[in-house]
Amino acid sequence: MRKRCKGEPDPELYALKVAQLAELELLLQHSMIDLFYGDESRICSKGYVPYGWQFPDENIYIPVEKGYKINVWAIITRKNKIHSTITEQNIDADFVFDQLETISLKIQKPTVIALDNASIHKAKIIQNQLQFWQKRVGPPMRIIYFLSASLLSSIKYR
């Protein structure tokens, strides 16, 4: 079962984003750009079982323990080229900014990074840097925002 945000995206905006991503995929196929998709995730040792069945005389349980967590932030291409960072700290806008800044200094050709609309991706610290990344001497880096993960399934990839 996929989870998704409440409501439906504006159909015209959704169609525009699909067209933009398709154009970027075409540029990627012609080796004119690098195109990465990015997000963060948490891996936790704390057990999670949303429901379970047991007979009245059975004692089935998951022991409670303080969960150990690891956070990962990564950008990846469809050909599995990846830049990732693992941390025990919370991932916030400053962390994402630092990762994007580091990547911007390493890119070899014009690069587009597609992120979702999470508040840490659209934070002021990142928004203030967007034009600089696009106009920096050397290959430019551009950040685009897509509406949801379901948008990616609309893109035809060869």
Measured between its terminal Cα atoms, the distance across the chain in Å is 26
pTM, 2 dp: 0.77
22-42 pLDDT, tens per residue? 999 999 999 999 999 999 998
129 and 96 Cβ atoms separated by less than 8 Å? no
Tokens of 33: 């750009």
The rounded distance, in Å, linking the Cα atoms of 23 and 21 is 5
The rounded distance, in Å, linking the Cα atoms of 22 and 155 is 6
40-70 pLDDT, tens per residue? 998 877 666 666 777 888 887 766 666 678 9
